[in-house]
Structure 1
Amino acid sequence: MIGGVARELRVEAERTNERRVLVLAGDRDRGIDGAYDAVAALGVDNESVSLVSTREGFRFEELRPRSADELLGRTREAVVLDCHERFVPNALGRAVGAVDGGGLLVLLTPPLDDWPAVRDRFDDSLAVPPYGVDDVTGRFRERLVETLRTHPGVAVATLGNDPEGDAVVRDGLTGAAPADDGNRAEAVDTVGPRGAPPGATFPAAAYDACLTADQSRALRAFEELSEPDSAVVVESDRGRGKSSAAGLAAGALALGGDDVLVTAPAFRNAAEVFTRARELIAAEAGSDPDGRDLRTPAGGRVRFLSPAAAAAEAGDADAVIVDEAAALPVRVLEGFLDAPAVAFCTTVHGYEGAGRGFAVRFRERLLDSRFAVRDVRLDEPIRYARNDPVEAWASRALLLDARPAVDAAVADASVDDASYRVLDPDDLLADETLLGEAFGLLVAAHYRTEPNDLARLLDAPNLVARALVADDRVVAVALLAREGGLDNETRREMYEGERVRGNMVPDVLTSQLRDEDAAAPRGLRTVRIATHHALRDAKFGSRLLDEIHAEFGGEIDYFSVGYGATLRLLRFWKRAGYRIVHLSTSRNDASGEHSAIMLRPETAAGRDLLARHAVAFRDRERDGLSDAHRDVDPDVIRGALGACSAPVPVDLAETEWRSVVGASVGPGMYDSAPGAFRDLALAALIEGTDLGDRAERLLVRKVLQGRPWEEVADDLGFVSTSACMRALGDAYVPLVGRYGTDFALAERERFTGE
């Protein structure tokens, strides 16, 4: 029976160039047997099928749920997703995105009536201490089951104890008309413009190979890579042919003699790029045995390197093409800015790879670079028809197309008129518009949002959400996590190296900063906070925080936040009453920034926690700025020190004051007492002496980070090192006045008469 259902789905899917879903609900072993029957009925090679499961021993390609990212950028005839034991929403997103037009996604699930109440290993990850797995709810799966039961293109079969007990609840057939040529991927002769457009420099054969007008436009944009200091950003949803267009562009550039360096999270993610490049240059190309280095008689080549290796060699290539750019850390993406010309291909929905680091963080850096940036968006599907019901189902089930309210709907919103709202998970489950707008804000404003986060929002017992609403539209949203309040045994285990999920701030303060009592006070951490982009700088974020502080202030010992540190954000959180306790020594892979942790105490326990860690931060930075933090952006250091609440004792010997005073108003030298200069610089930046931006950067770069004079002068735009030295002396004039002892002031009078 299962084979017959799969065959019917396959026939309709191929006829319409769409995809279908087959749900096998019931016993796991029976589901696996049914999946074998379904795949056999499709008549496809085992090599074109992937199975995602916690089990092993299948004849198809096997992937663990946590390794489903390996499906990114690939095309499969069928994907089987085993939802028993560990159902990971991210894996569902990866699986459905890999299925080609005419293909089938097979889901193995518990009985649909029972599934929302089932607790598996993914639920264990949501049960962060002090909560247990019984505190986790099943709203995400309840919502998912409802979509499976109602959405077109989804077949549901219930499995009995033997095949005679199987029943088809939904056949999944839509009765859709056959796809016209314009929607069929194989209809090359009738799709898209033929030949090169006027003024094009790429060969006509490259344009002939385009399947849609969107692809042709993208290919024309890729021609910019022939010119130095050019960058192209190609954005699309899955299945729009951006990788194919990139491959045609790479082949065309190589035919012209260029060295084109291609990178992606893994070579399999760039397979389509090389397939299309090879097709274009096949008559002339040679290649290495594994197909990662294509060469042309003109001396051009298309070669693949891993992201780290490609970033290191970007300056040596003529052009670099980065596929699945959103899956790469920002710190790696920055390396491609050394290339003469570069293209980034990104997926705008579906949260590919690590998240939205490219769109949220790296995009600004690209626009600030030397490159002239050309943007292209592809909307027309290629791998399946435009009205593919499975794309619509996945978008709804995982909120892959979640967006904030349209700009016009919130343009007149006033921060004073907005209302504060509790986003109860049951209300979110019942109101698709509310859920979509709230989650859409989190997606649009943060570099790391993924389908798993939707499950956390609806089911995790430690998370709460709050929003500001204007005219029934969500204009600001915050996701908050309860942390701390852990028992003695858990705190001891954390101190001795055990990881405790969902308690980020207590974990850092305990395991890294060696405070065994840090996890005893109860905290509320702002995991994410976002304001509608049309209302930025209108105080909505501050108002939302004020409301949160008022609501929870009597329940907890402190508020906290952890984020990728920038000067703007450090100052925002300082204005909200938060003070820094930690700045990471390494950059975050996704954001490319050093992570800051800040606290806002509410009780005596919270104030004690802040006091001891503020002092520890101050003392760490005095030494760490010339070591682990030696390369951190000086503006980040300025902001971090300015957000430190620990006072700085200044206790210099007379010989040290002689050096400081002499360097500021006399013939003294900085090098004669660098420790004294460091103490004063630390005090000035922490206690807020207003010296001006460049003078403060000078204190950070030279005095605290110990950079060479020539480097500091160049970084800060001084005309010479001597001018930089004089500026440093000038910066200490007000510091002598503020911190100087009677001896120091008398010493100053010797030179100035004042």
Structure 2
Amino acid sequence: MIATLARAAKREAETANERRVVVLAGDRDRGIDAAYDVIEAVDPASTSIVSTREGFRFEEHRPRNADELLGRTREVVVLDCHERFVPNALGRSVGAVDGGGLLVLLAPDLDAWPGVRDRFDDSLAVPPYGIDDVTGRFRERFCETLRSHPGIAIVSLGETPAADSVERDGLVDDAAGSGTTPETDGWRPTTPPNATFPAAAYEACLTGDQVRAVSAFERLATPGNAVVVEADRGRGKSSAAGIAAGALALAGGDVLVTAPAFRNAAEIFARASERLGCGEPGARTLETASGGRVRYLPPAEAADLPEDPDAVIVDEAAALPVRLLERFLDESLSVAFCTTVHGYEGAGRGFAIRFRERLLAGPFAVRDVRLDEPIRYARGDPVEAWAARALLLDARPAVDEAVAGASVADATYRALPPDELLADETLLGEAFGLLVAAHYRTEPNDLARLLDAPNLSARALVAGGRVVAVALLAREGGLDADTRRRMYEGERVRGNMVPDVLTSQLRDERAAEPRGLRTVRIATHHAVRDAGFGSRLLDEVHAEFGDAVDYFAVGYGATPRLLRFWRRAGYRTVHLSTSRNDASGEHSAIMVRPAGGDGSDGVVGMDGAVGMDGTEGVGGANESGASLLRRHAAAFRDRERDGLSDAHRDVDPDVVIGALRACPAPVSVDLTEIEWRSVVGASFGPGMYDSAPGAFRDLALAALVGGEGDPEADSVLDGRERRLLVRKVLQGRPWESVAEELGYVSTAACMRALGNAAEPLVERYGTEFALEERERFISD
């Protein structure tokens, strides 16, 4: 029976040039035997299995490593959903199945599956929660899609093959596909008139869309051009980029390729290698006899444009943050940005909205290309539609017209309970779509976490019945003494990001005791951004949870804009990572706000009692959270005094300024008389900075730390003077590079500027002795 069903599904898939799904639901061992029956019945040319088990006679992948299927084309993919059902692995498996192929799912009984807990669920059971606290809503919804979408056959497995029953045969009578591919319907590529790439480049194209894309890539041979290529998955954008990269390298060009990970760029290198006739599988550099090359670097490294490439190709650009993408906008080269419109690689609207504005406003001549024609299967493939719904790959916020003009005052704050999200597909799509739009890395696993993870909750602002802002929140901390001890001794505790960093990296065994609420993500609809919705949403979260937790926290890739946003929301800096995130290229900041406070400046008095504005604490701030902030703000201040000339020597000065201004631990300036003589002499007289760099460092920290909210301290320096203090005094950069970066006409002018910047610091922090010393130089 299973063999007959499989042959019928395969035959219809091939006729329509679509894909089909066969679900084998029941006992795992029986499912594996039945999968072999399917494979033997259809006799595929290529088969892969994704399973936690080993020893199959096909190509094997583990669920957590299913990204190895990216860029692969298989006739049959078997996904074993027993033991560890990873939503990301499903997305990757679907994407690897070719037109005319089958996706075979091995699953528990569908009626029982939502109640089954497996190793993926265990990853959602973050302390102090256990696996029994994890729900099965994601699987409940997933099973519903299996039973309702066309093209999906379901076999309920009995104890023996004779007891098997077919719940659905999965056949589609009115198959939407044409039964053709560009390779079989008589279409042949033609070289455009006046093309500069070789004819062989165009002969390698499989659709007219690809021809147009490769033609657009010809612009990369001339500096000052930018090409933007957008496509849904499976449309051949990476292949087109690879064909173009090979053609550019053959002409002697140095093409730098980057993507969130090399696997995302593997298709580019495969196609470029075909054009160049060189390179081993997996090679990250391809070189030609003409001196050209195609090379890969991770995003943060590539953004430095090492060795001055002629052209840059950024694949999956939407999966990278805007601030990193901006670093590629060097008019001395040409650049292409390729991005998936919908897909688990990342489909952040930051690229489409914020970055495109900056790209179009820059010096580049921009050419846009959109690829719509599927390459490996027919348009209208039912499996593509099913995967998009099951994994919300096409989730998007409400349309602009539905929310434009909404006001913060009229918005309603509400919880988004998982049961309501499960019951309301529109609500779920709009909320998850906002999270996808705002973040450069939202995956199907995140959908499962939203619906099932016991430590997560979601809150939203709704205007006119549409979601305009959403926050994903994670409960952290509140851990018992034994767990805290194990964490301190090096054991990783899932889902407790802030307590883990403060405990294991910053050596505070008490850090995981207070209860925290971390904002994992917060997103505002782009049609109403910068209108106060994000701040209003945070205010509501603080009010709702203020009595339930000890502190609020956030961790994110630090930019000046985000540091300002979170500082204004009352959050204060306790950590800045020493290394950059590989994908974002940013240093991660961790900020804390004690619960119960009002978010005013001077959040916590560092002496444990009096705030920087002279008030007691922070308007009733929770003492446990306040104590956590006091300890770690002071530790951050002390680390940065030396760390800025070491691990943080290359951090953007505006990021340093933002992080320090949001640190509420004031700096005590306690200089000796000799140090004051040197500082005053360098500021008002003929002295030199080099005579007392440590003294200048203390003054610089005092001027920058906690300056926000202290009008007198905040007004004594302008923006360039603050950057000068960071680059020269705190980061110890050479005078020449500081002068060039900050726009001083000479190193001498830069030196004079530092002396001038120190004058108001002497006035503000100087002792009586220092002020008397100053009089020697300013008296008439």
TM range, normalised to the smaller chain?
over 0.9
Task: Tell me, in whole angstroms, the C-alpha distance in 1 between the residues paired with 2:684 and 2:761.
Answer: 12
Q: Which amino acid aligns with 2:2?
A: I
Cα pair distance change 1:336/1:29, threshold 3 Å: farther
Q: 1:180 aligns with which of 154, 178, 181?
A: 178
Where does residue 738 of structure 2 map in the other structure? 712
Cα pair distance change 1:262/1:302, threshold 3 Å: farther
Q: Which amino acid aligns with 1:51?
A: I
Where does residue 31 of structure 2 map in the other structure? 31
Q: Which amino acid aligns with 2:93?
A: A
- SS, match of residue 507 in structure 1: helix
Q: Shift of the alpha carbon at 1:256?
A: 4.3
Q: Which amino acid aligns with 1:87?
A: F
CA contact (8 A) 2:260 2:299 kept: no
Task: Tell me, in whole angstroms, the C-alpha distance in 1 between the residues paired with 2:732 and 2:201.
Answer: 54
Q: Which amino acid aligns with 1:170?
A: R
Q: Which amino acid aligns with 1:236?
A: A
Q: Shift of the alpha carbon at 1:658?
A: 1.4
* Greater alpha carbon shift after TM alignment, 392-401 vs 219-228: 219-228
Q: Shift of the alpha carbon at 1:101?
A: 0.8
Where does residue 338 of structure 2 map in the other structure? 345
Where does residue 118 of structure 1 map in the other structure? 116
Q: Shift of the alpha carbon at 1:325?
A: 5.5
Task: Tell me, in whole angstroms, the C-alpha distance in 2 between the residues paired with 1:748 and 1:266.
Answer: 57
Where does residue 216 of structure 1 map in the other structure? 211
Task: Tell me, in whole angstroms, the C-alpha distance in 2 between the residues paired with 1:750 and 1:67.
Answer: 71
Task: Tell me, in whole angstroms, the C-alpha distance in 2 between the residues paired with 1:198 and 1:569.
Answer: 48
CA contact (8 A) 2:19 2:382 kept: yes
Q: Which amino acid aligns with 2:18?
A: E
Q: Shift of the alpha carbon at 1:563?
A: 0.7
* Greater alpha carbon shift after TM alignment, 594-603 vs 106-115: 594-603
Q: Which amino acid aligns with 1:546?
A: D
Q: Shift of the alpha carbon at 1:655?
A: 1.6
Cα pair distance change 1:517/1:316, threshold 3 Å: closer
CA contact (8 A) 1:188 1:209 kept: no
In the alignment, is residue 200 of structure 1 matched against residue 195 of structure 2? yes
Where does residue 452 of structure 1 map in the other structure? 445
Q: Shift of the alpha carbon at 1:337?
A: 7.0
Task: Tell me, in whole angstroms, the C-alpha distance in 2 between the residues paired with 1:594 and 1:263.
Answer: 19
Task: Tell me, in whole angstroms, the C-alpha distance in 2 between the residues paired with 1:578 and 1:319.
Answer: 41
Instruction: Calculate percent identity across the aligned residue pairs.
Output: 76
Q: Which amino acid aligns with 1:524?
A: L
Q: Where does 1:361-510 land on structure 2 (aligned, <5 Å)?
A: 372-510=365-503
Q: Shift of the alpha carbon at 1:13?
A: 0.7
- SS, match of residue 190 in structure 1: coil
CA contact (8 A) 2:300 2:324 kept: no
Where does residue 136 of structure 1 map in the other structure? 134
Task: Tell me, in whole angstroms, the C-alpha distance in 2 between the residues paired with 1:568 and 1:437.
Answer: 26
Q: Shift of the alpha carbon at 1:247?
A: 3.4
Where does residue 511 of structure 2 map in the other structure? 518
CA contact (8 A) 1:351 1:450 kept: yes
Where does residue 102 of structure 1 map in the other structure? 100
Q: 1:682 aligns with which of 701, 709, 723?
A: 701
* Greater alpha carbon shift after TM alignment, 285-294 vs 442-451: 285-294
Question: Deviations along 1:182-227, whole A, 9 cap, x unmatched?
Answer: x623236337xx5334443334554455443322221221011111
CA contact (8 A) 1:206 1:248 kept: yes
Q: Shift of the alpha carbon at 1:341?
A: 3.4
* Greater alpha carbon shift after TM alignment, 599-608 vs 270-279: 270-279
Q: Shift of the alpha carbon at 1:322?
A: 4.8
Q: 1:629 aligns with which of 648, 668, 671?
A: 648
Question: Deviations along 1:283-318, whole A, 9 cap, x unmatched?
Answer: xx6545769688888x37665656589949964654
Where does residue 237 of structure 1 map in the other structure? 232
- SS, match of residue 186 in structure 2: helix
Where does residue 753 of structure 2 map in the other structure? 727
Cα pair distance change 1:56/1:356, threshold 3 Å: farther
Task: Tell me, in whole angstroms, the C-alpha distance in 2 between the residues paired with 1:633 and 1:537.
Answer: 24
CA contact (8 A) 2:319 2:440 kept: no
Q: Which amino acid aligns with 2:553?
A: S
> What is the TM-score normalised by the length of structure 1?
0.92
Q: Shift of the alpha carbon at 1:694?
A: 0.3
Question: Deviations along 1:545-596, whole A, 9 cap, x unmatched?
Answer: 0000110001111111111111111111111111111111111122111111
Where does residue 598 of structure 2 map in the other structure? none
Q: Where does 1:1-150 land on structure 2 (aligned, <5 Å)?
A: 1-45=1-45, 48-150=46-148
Cα pair distance change 1:538/1:331, threshold 3 Å: closer
Consecutive unaligned residues of structure 1, counting only runs of 5 or more, are: none
Task: Tell me, in whole angstroms, the C-alpha distance in 1 between the residues paired with 2:586 and 2:636.
Answer: 18
- SS, match of residue 697 in structure 1: helix
Where does residue 779 of structure 2 map in the other structure? 753
Consecutive unaligned residues of structure 2, counting only runs of 5 or more, are: 596-621, 708-712
Cα pair distance change 1:496/1:334, threshold 3 Å: farther
CA contact (8 A) 1:330 1:590 kept: no
CA contact (8 A) 1:148 1:154 kept: yes
Q: Shift of the alpha carbon at 1:320?
A: 4.6
- SS, match of residue 189 in structure 1: coil
- SS, match of residue 18 in structure 1: coil
Task: Tell me, in whole angstroms, the C-alpha distance in 2 between the residues paired with 1:499 and 1:220.
Answer: 50
Cα pair distance change 1:558/1:228, threshold 3 Å: same
- SS, match of residue 457 in structure 2: strand
Cα pair distance change 1:521/1:164, threshold 3 Å: same
Question: How many pairs align?
Answer: 744
Cα pair distance change 1:615/1:322, threshold 3 Å: closer
Q: What RMSD, in angstroms, separates the aligned Cα atoms of the two structures? A: 2.9
Task: Tell me, in whole angstroms, the C-alpha distance in 1 between the residues paired with 2:368 and 2:96.
Answer: 25
Q: Which amino acid aligns with 1:232?
A: V
Q: Shift of the alpha carbon at 1:702?
A: 0.5
CA contact (8 A) 1:466 1:479 kept: yes
Question: Deviations along 1:324-378, whole A, 9 cap, x unmatched?
Answer: 5567899998997789434343323222279899779988997798755433221
Q: Where does 1:561-576 land on structure 2 (aligned, <5 Å)?
A: 561-576=554-569
* Greater alpha carbon shift after TM alignment, 588-597 vs 485-494: 588-597
Q: Which amino acid aligns with 1:729?
A: G
- SS, match of residue 234 in structure 1: strand
- SS, match of residue 38 in structure 2: helix
* Greater alpha carbon shift after TM alignment, 667-676 vs 61-70: 667-676
Q: Shift of the alpha carbon at 1:535?
A: 1.0
CA contact (8 A) 1:476 1:531 kept: yes
Cα pair distance change 1:355/1:89, threshold 3 Å: farther
Q: 1:673 aligns with which of 692, 717, 721?
A: 692
CA contact (8 A) 2:254 2:311 kept: yes
- SS, match of residue 705 in structure 2: helix
In the alignment, is residue 640 of structure 1 matched against residue 664 of structure 2? no
In the alignment, is residue 608 of structure 1 matched against residue 627 of structure 2? yes
Where does residue 680 of structure 2 map in the other structure? 661
- SS, match of residue 370 in structure 2: strand
- SS, match of residue 461 in structure 2: strand
Q: Which amino acid aligns with 1:11?
A: R
Q: Which amino acid aligns with 2:231?
A: S
Q: Which amino acid aligns with 2:681?
A: G
Question: Deviations along 1:221-273, whole A, 9 cap, x unmatched?
Answer: 10111112433332212110113322332344355454556666788766654
Q: Which amino acid aligns with 1:223?
A: E
Task: Tell me, in whole angstroms, the C-alpha distance in 2 between the residues paired with 1:735 and 1:309.
Answer: 36
